[in-house]
Structure 1
Amino acid sequence: MDCARLWLGLLLPVVAALDFIYHHQGQMEAFLKNVAQNYSSVTHLHSIGKSVKGRNLWVLVVGRSPKEHRIGIPEFKYVANMHGDESVGRELLLHLIEYLVTSDGKDPEITNLINSTRIHIMPSMNPDGFEAVQKPDCFYNKGRHNSNYYDLNRNFPDAFEFNNVSRQPETVAVMKWLNTETFVLSANLHGGALVASYPFDNGVPATGTLYSRSLTPDDDVFQYLAHTYASRNPTMKERNPCKAKLESQSGIINGYFWYPLRGGMQDYNYIWAQCFEITLELSCCKYPRTEMLPSFWNNNKDSLIEYIKQVHIGVKGQVFDHNGTPLPNVIVEVQDRKHICPYRTNKFGEYYLLLLPGSYVIEVIVPGHDPHLTKVTIPSKSQNFSALKKDILLPFREQLDHIPESHLSCPMIPLYKDLQGHSAATKPSLFLFLVTLFHILFK
């Protein structure tokens, strides 16, 4: 028996334990390539593009089908180091990769997560900025921007006002990447504060800015997602961990309420990529001392894993015509939470809607037909690593294989610029009213 265990141990992949240090580009590449080689059955390493200085923007995919999408398996992503001097997230994602691949087959939770999810991890979106940092610093460092001196989190198209800046190679690479996958849930990792921030980062009166916030039609889901992460991080959920001027509520905050910004990545993900993304600020210091890295991993490991699992809330399925053929590019949304850039099925006819427990009416819209309505009830306890599965068969008898191109495009313009009226979600809560009043009186 002991000999059998010894041979089994020799057959298992081995990756040298990852040190708690800051890994520069060469070290990071060596680690990622080692993981991809030793765990080739569950990983796929690829570059989505290059930085201004030609460094690869690496993404490691973890899943049972790491090289391609499988129907019913949602796509999840983490992106870190968008600001080159905000370094903690970069190292956390490297350690997350190590934890996932070494726990597969040993830890039932991680094994089930890999079985049911395709996880994309980008440790550094701004490798040039990281390499430009000269020494650890809690505050501003020149490595924040890319090599063309652009802030990448101000470089995306904006849905609220014109953002006529030169799109940077790193930004363009991410935008193209978003078009190649059906991403459902995401987080981007930053530093300089300890809080989980949720969309919108910019806004107009129609999204609630008159009440010092800007809310999406899915605000309940976003607050839940942010709370899921923050509540499992012992320092983030403290009332004011960084002794900042503005305190957050249980470690979460609306992006616009915190401070408005134009051209942010999380708003772009939600509006144009159909992907729910939040921003995780993980350290009061942007670039803390190396010896602090183990404590950051200990504080964030459970949150990182639990957040990935949230890609399995809500409802998912395929839309078929009366012959059972999957229908791409048809609008599928909940009746009372329409997106300004409508959410559509992918090329396999799939849809994924992140929803909290409750009853909803799903509306499927095909040009030339009345909306097709389907009632669903999301149970209070989610299924085992799976959203509620609900396929939709449309009763239309005529051919549905051609949808006019005009119905598919969502222009890269300020879509909210002329939107009138207020949704129920933008009405002020007592909490935000009191916080706003406090700042008016005491700022």
Structure 2
Amino acid sequence: MTRFLRSTTARYPNLTALYSIGKSVQGRDLWVMVVSASPYEHMIGKPDVKYVGNIHGNEPVGRELLLHLIQYLVTSYTTDPYIKWLLDNTRIHILPAMNPDGYSVSKEGSCEGGQGRYNARGFDLNRNFPDYFKQNNKRGQPETDAVKDWISKIQFVLSGSLHGGALVASYPYDNTPNSMFQTYGSAPSLTPDDDVFRHLSLTYANNHAKMSRGVACKSQTPAFENGITNGAAWYP
């Protein structure tokens, strides 16, 4: 991955910028690539957005999709008018692998089990961030601390996290005020911007080959109407 990112930014210096937001427990860089017609300069009126993949190290699909997205964007800039417009008017920050340590020990070809899911200290990074509804007493990890510092420095207007597993676009909130009292019931927990999040989720699902059909990946996993769900309605 590092080789690909470095070679891409060397080949497309006017469209990409590569930087590290920190290091993992085992010292691996948390690489971010900016793809934009102005990769080195934040401009007023030009929004910054971000994608994050591989928070769970044993879920490589997000990592691979984001690497392919980088390649698609830079190779399509001169041939696709929409991609040109997108990169001329947006700065896209892509963190393909937030958990490189977990990825390095994941078992290739295994879709079950938890090997590589957590970071090198055994923490689930997806549940290591501050919680809106309840106190999070878990010790902050280098990977999550790096992301928190990252988003405090850049005012991202939109973010997306890519996981493996269920075929669904999940939108906030992921838990409820009841979580403060440790009563875990699956019920929608809506943000003030629920209409925006639903629109974005439906747009993503409708542009996916299968997601909007609401078909489960496996018999044990739930199906989702229109391929979307409120996070707390799925699981708190």
TM-score between both structures, scaled by the size of structure 1: 0.51
* Alignment correspondent of 1:117: 90
Matched, 1:253 2:229: yes
Q: CA deviation at 1:240?
A: 2.2
Q: CA deviation at 1:134?
A: 2.5
Gaps of 5+ in 2: 179-183
Aligned partner (choices 154, 160, 163) of residue 181 of structure 1: 154
Instruction: Give the AA of the match of 2:227.
Output: G
Between the two proteins, the alignment pairs up a number of residues equal to 231
Q: Does the residue aligned with 2:192 lie in a helix, a strand or coil?
A: coil
Q: Which has the higher contact order (CA 8 A, sep 6+)?
A: 2
* Alignment correspondent of 1:63: 36
Gaps of 5+ in 1: 1-27, 261-443
Matched, 1:227 2:202: yes
Cα-to-partner distance string for 1:322-354 (whole Å, 9 max, x where unaligned): xxxxxxxxxxxxxxxxxxxxxxxxxxxxxxxxx
Instruction: Give the AA of the match of 1:228.
Output: T
Matched, 1:216 2:175: no
Q: State the identity as a percent.
A: 54
Q: Within 1, Cα distance between the matches of 2:45 and 2:233?
A: 36
Q: Does the residue aligned with 2:147 lie in a helix, a strand or coil?
A: helix
Q: Within 2, Cα distance between the matches of 1:43 and 1:245?
A: 38
Matched, 1:107 2:80: yes
Q: Within 1, Cα distance between the matches of 2:29 and 2:89?
A: 28
* Alignment correspondent of 2:118: 145
Instruction: Give the AA of the match of 1:250.
Output: N
Quick check: which has more Rg, 1 or 2? 1
Q: Which moved more, 1:241-250 or 1:52-61?
A: 241-250
| Alignment map for 1:351-370 (pairs within 5 Å) | none
TM-score between both structures, scaled by the size of structure 2: 0.94
Q: CA deviation at 1:245?
A: 4.8
Q: Does the residue aligned with 2:107 lie in a helix, a strand or coil?
A: coil
Q: CA deviation at 1:159?
A: 1.2
Q: Does the residue aligned with 2:2 lie in a helix, a strand or coil?
A: helix
Cα-to-partner distance string for 1:293-327 (whole Å, 9 max, x where unaligned): xxxxxxxxxxxxxxxxxxxxxxxxxxxxxxxxxxx
Indicate the RMSD between aligned Cα atoms, in angstroms.
1.6
Residues 211, 36 of structure 1: CA spacing in aligned structure 2 closer, same or farther, 3 A cutoff? closer
* Alignment correspondent of 1:239: 214
Q: Within 2, Cα distance between the matches of 1:64 and 1:135?
A: 36
Cα-to-partner distance string for 1:116-143 (whole Å, 9 max, x where unaligned): 0000011100000000113221122310
Matched, 1:40 2:13: yes
CA contact (8 A) 2:128 2:144 kept: yes
Cα-to-partner distance string for 1:349-387 (whole Å, 9 max, x where unaligned): xxxxxxxxxxxxxxxxxxxxxxxxxxxxxxxxxxxxxxx
Q: Within 1, Cα distance between the matches of 2:186 and 2:33?
A: 41
Q: Does the residue aligned with 1:144 lie in a helix, a strand or coil?
A: coil
